[in-house]
Amino acid sequence: MIERVRPEIDCGLFPAKRIAGDTVVVEADILADGHDLAAGEVLYRRSRDEVWQRAPMKPLGNDRWRGGFLASELGTYRYTVEGWIDRFGTWRSDMTRRIQSGQDVSAEWLIGANAIDEAASRAAHEDSAKLHEWARMLRDEQQPENRKRIALEDNLAAIVQRYPDRRFVARYDKELCLVVDRERAGYSAWYELFPRSCSSEPGRPGTLRDCEEGLPYIAAMGFDVLYLPPIHPIGHRFRKGKNNEAAAGPEDVGSPWAIGSEDGGHTSIDPSLGTLEDFDRLVEKAKESGIEIALDMAFQCSPDHPYVRKHPEWFRKRPDGTIQYAENPPKKYQDIFPLDFETPEWRELWDELRDVVLYWIAHGVSIFRVDNPHTKALSFWEWMIGQVKEQHPEVIFLAEAFTRPKLMYRLAKLGFSQSYTYFTWRNTKRELTEYFREMAASEVREFFRPNLWPNTPDILPEYLQVGGRAAFMVRLILAATMGANYGIYGPAFELCDNTPRTPGSEEYLNSEKYELKHWDRKSSSGLKALVALMNRIRRENPALHSDANLRFHETDNPEVVCYSKTTNDLSDIIIVVCNLDASHTQTGWVTLDLDSLGLDARRAFQAHDLLSSGRYLWHGARNYFDLAPESLPAHIMKVRKWVRTERDFDYYF
């Protein structure tokens, strides 16, 4: 009987997720009736293969078993579990107890010899010969001590277990699925930039060539993904003015998300930005700088989009026959027509949108940030992402879905590689710990990869509005260390732009979504140096490359949060102590869970602060902190343990 296989998402309906090179740990309950011992294996294969590979499972106690396999390639895998009665193991266990209690085991030697001969009949030639010889020796009544030694021989048990008796093997009733992505799906640092604001000259619209010239600035800060909002032609009818005014003036550039004009649609470049050749050049130059270009995929149209004229059946209409524009009450988006994913011609629409994605993949794009996927048909995303990743398993999709938790999780199950989160609004110690425990310690971690953003062009949170420069530092440190994937909307973030359109609003005053901006990147008040330091700390510490081993530790101050991240083997240990109060110095004591960190409470360890370069000798679990937000509001401690050498010298590693 095989039960409670993990990972298993929604009874096997959806795949778990891993990164290429991960060892996939599989657990299951394997039970046998009576007193017989059980044994089990994990079966796994790439979906395109027909032959199963096998990996042994080991008992954890209480009928729980664990095994694993290496997910070495991108794409999809299948896995399941088999179990059977371990007749030789049962015999060996019984023999041990019989021998220890002094019972007569003369008949038992022959039972064991027969079991070994049966295994020999299934074994490879060299192993078969060894097993037959051991069986012969068990039958040899003249060598009683040899019999006992052989019965307890670990090498014998190991060889027999290679050739188990599978006559009554049981297999789990499901083949479970696993999606294996490339490393950047699990670990990345994103930087969002409007190309039209990249000009070095105030008042002149930026171009893709200007964006290319800005690559060294982005690379110097250590980002590996440059995300561009839509770069397509922008519609004219109902174009929005500055600060989202309903009426636009002749000089207003409009919102990039109002896609489509007489110059083309989703496979065209806005002529004011440049040409397709300019874009191809940007992609190549970015790669030379270690940066990937991520494109915004917003499946919506301006009233001037070619689809509106050629395929009016792809849009939902009002009773008066006019096309319904987008709304999110009280907001109205008169410059955007949503596509109707339930149109009778849905198949043609779906094929077209998939081909849009494939078009940009052909131009070197393998990362897409998808705008508001929760407002489209979920079945479309499952189909489209499946179609794309079957041909291009390297492609990454980020879901920009600020919506209900279960809907966000459903999108992840359907195929999205990463997702925006509620981190943007989680500010208190309690909010952070509860939210991240849910994502790190529950089944959610098997399929949901959070991407943490302190701000976006749509969202200027209250915390940043009122906290000043220190608030930006706090949110940067939290995002970059709590999440293996994180991003900032820059240069608004590193220049600490925090003026809302109106009090209580999360909209920026003079939002870049509706007008050209000129950013003074050389400002001495910016956070460029801290951003670069945070990305360097992330690169140099493997513990920050994963979300799996996030643990929270106690503090006696509700304004201070403490958490750690480690590699699985505890070779890299990072402890973060962060002041959440952007206005006041906070002091107190942190109490570490030393066992989870593999630290000995009886020995001191060095805590090297990667932010300030300070070094502290910490003793035991309880340690003092004093954090002033105006300087550096956090410690990011790299733990260095004491090691005793053969020559009796101590050193740190």
Neighbours of 412 (CB within 10 A): 23
Of the pLDDT bands very low, low, confident and very high (cuts 50, 70, 90), residue 324 is confident
CA 383 to CA 400: how far, in whole Å? 18
User: Which two structure tokens, joined as six digits, stand for 428?
Assistant: 């208190």
Higher pLDDT, 123 or 645: 123
pLDDT at 142: 77
Of the pLDDT bands very low, low, confident and very high (cuts 50, 70, 90), residue 561 is very high
Q: Does 373 share its domain with 510?
A: yes
Check the CA dihedral 403-405-407-412 and report its sign: positive
Q: Which of 543, 574, 608 is the last residue of a domain?
A: 543
Is the bond into 633 cis (omega within 30 degrees of 0)?
no
Alpha-carbon distances, residue 15 vs 10, 173, 178, 340, 488 (angstroms) = 9, 16, 5, 28, 29
If you search the block for the tokens 């996927």, which residue do you land on?
A: 373
**Distance separating the N- and C-terminal Cα atoms of the chain:** 47
Q: Does 518 share its domain with 533?
A: yes
- Tell me the whole-structure pTM to 2 decimals: 0.94
Q: Does 446 share its domain with 482?
A: yes
Q: Does 417 share its domain with 530?
A: yes
If you search the block for the tokens 């000129």, which residue do you land on?
A: 518
Whether residue 400 lies in the annotated active site: yes
* Mean pLDDT, range 614-622, rounded to an integer: 92
Q: Does 280 share its domain with 384?
A: yes
Of the pLDDT bands very low, low, confident and very high (cuts 50, 70, 90), residue 141 is confident
Whether residue 371 lies in the annotated active site: yes
Domain of 109, CATH number, reads 1.20.58.80
CA 33 to CA 564: how far, in whole Å? 43
Q: What is the percentage of the chain residues whose pLDDT exceeds 70?
A: 98
* Mean model confidence pLDDT for the chain: 94
CA 532 to CA 246: how far, in whole Å? 39
Digit-coded pLDDT (tens) for 337-372: 999 999 999 999 999 999 999 999 999 999 999 999
Q: Does 625 share its domain with 490?
A: no
Q: Does 473 share its domain with 497?
A: yes
Domain range for 26 is: 1-86+171-181
User: Which two structure tokens, joined as six digits, stand for 235?
Assistant: 């519609």
Q: Which of 543, 560, 592 is the last residue of a domain?
A: 543
Domain of 415, CATH number, reads 3.20.20.80
Asked whether 186 and 24 are in contact (CB, 8 A), the reply is: no
Q: Does 426 share its domain with 526?
A: yes
If you search the block for the tokens 């701000």, which residue do you land on?
A: 455
Sheet holding 396-400, edge to edge: 418-419, 396-400, 367-371, 292-297, 225-228, 188-192, 485-489, 451-452
Q: How many residues does the chain have?
A: 653
Digit-coded pLDDT (tens) for 274-321: 999 999 999 999 999 999 999 999 999 999 999 999 999 999 998 998
Q: Does 61 share its domain with 47?
A: yes
* Mean pLDDT, range 614-639, rounded to an integer: 94
Phi, psi at 159, each rounded to 5°: -70, -45
Q: Does 91 share its domain with 144?
A: yes
* Mean pLDDT, range 87-95, rounded to an integer: 89
pLDDT at 643: 52
pLDDT at 652: 45
Q: Which of 27, 29, 371, 494 is catalytic?
A: 371
Pick from 22, 26, 23: which is nearest to 5 by CA?
Answer: 26
Alpha-carbon distances, residue 619 vs 319, 579, 598, 635 (angstroms) = 73, 22, 14, 17
Domain of 19, CATH number, reads 2.60.40.10
Q: Which of 311, 338, 365 is the last residue of a domain?
A: 338
pLDDT at 651: 42
Q: Does 276 share its domain with 359?
A: yes
Domain of 576, CATH number, reads 2.60.40.1180
Q: Which of 29, 181, 304, 400 is catalytic?
A: 400
* Mean pLDDT, range 120-143, rounded to an integer: 89
If you search the block for the tokens 């992505």, which residue do you land on?
A: 181
Query: If 0-12 CB within 10 Å is exposed, 13-18 middle and 19+ buried, where does residue 63 land?
Result: middle
Q: Does 239 share its domain with 229?
A: no
Number of folded domains that form the chain: 5
pLDDT at 321: 85
Query: What are the b/e assignments for 566-590, b being 16+ CB within 10 Å?
Result: bbeeeebbbbbbbbbbbeeebebeb
Whether 228 shows a pLDDT value over 50: the answer reads yes
Of the pLDDT bands very low, low, confident and very high (cuts 50, 70, 90), residue 525 is confident
CA 560 to CA 578: how far, in whole Å? 6
